[in-house]
Amino acid sequence: MSFQFMPGLAQIADQYDAYILDLWGVVHDGTRPYPGALNCMQQLRANGKPILLLSNAPRTNGFVETFLETLGVSRSFYDQILTSGDLTREVLTDRRFDYLKKENLNFYQFGADKDRGLDDGLDYTRVFNVAQADFLICTGLAHDDVETPEDYRALLAEAARLNLPMLCANPDLTVMKGDRMLYCAGSLAALYEELGGQVTLFGKPYANAYEQSMQKLGVSDPSKILAVGDSMRTDIKGANGMQIDCVLCSGGIHAEEWGLTDGGCPTDEQVKALVDLHGFSPTYVVGHMTW
């Protein structure tokens, strides 16, 4: 597995017909856009090639679009958004799982007040006691700035004893917000599985997220798409699985373990160690997504 260090995307962008960009860790850090990211997006779109933002946000795309506006990422910088929340809502809507086919179903949600929209207008009732629930929706920790998954062990153990299936709307384990690491929904889902619970996860790195992205972009040949992400576990694994060329932004989720600041690049040995650990590889490595 080989990869190439790049100063930015200018040298390779013309090789592709469309782009799939991660959000958190690539475009912004949860508080502001990364330096050069918006300019890079403008340059990518300059030749009329579409950009789809593929995010493991546990909210539907309209809420993400509104959040991006507050960070200064206007609609003009991209063409479409697809979230793991959208993919979760799709399942809630079409009721493809047997346990969702009954009427008058109740769900218990793990997550913050900001994580909403998944059940809007659908025939489900949210309850606040797991004993009253028919299934679980996991969008994250209620207070991710102070809580860890261990704070939920007893509640998850109770849900596992009740054999409640879980829909996890964000498979990410952690995320960097500014210079702080916060736990995500995937960390709760992992603990629930450890306790014997049944979990279905949506978003990256799963094939359906990329298949829908390609359909929305109108590009059927994966070799014509470039994906940009910051997580080996989700972004790079997912792109590799679809045979899509990909860029690893080292200034995102892996920056802390590599001891990087301000979008610095890791050493060749550091990237190789991560590639050996995971068994898949980025095509290119950059500090931050810049032109």
Average pLDDT rounded to a whole number, residues 16-29: 97
Round to whole Å and give the CA distance between 30 and 173: 16
Summarize the confidence of residues 147-174 as an average pLDDT: 97
Pair of tokens at residue 19: 């782009």
Model confidence at 179: pLDDT above 80: no
Mean pLDDT of 65-69: 97
Mention every residue, 6+ apart, whose C-beta is less than 8 A from residue 217.
Answer: 18, 20, 50, 52, 80, 225
Is the pLDDT higher at 82 or at 145?
82
Distance CA 242, CA 237 (A): 9
pLDDT band at 241 (very low <50, low <70, confident <90, very high): very high
Q: What is the pLDDT of residue 114?
A: 84
Q: Is the pLDDT of residue 259 over 80?
A: yes
Q: Give the span between the Cα atoms of 39 and 44, in whole angstroms.
A: 9
**Residue written as token pair 């603990």:** 191
Helices (H), the chain: 37-45, 61-71, 84-94, 153-161, 185-194, 207-217, 237-241, 255-258, 268-278
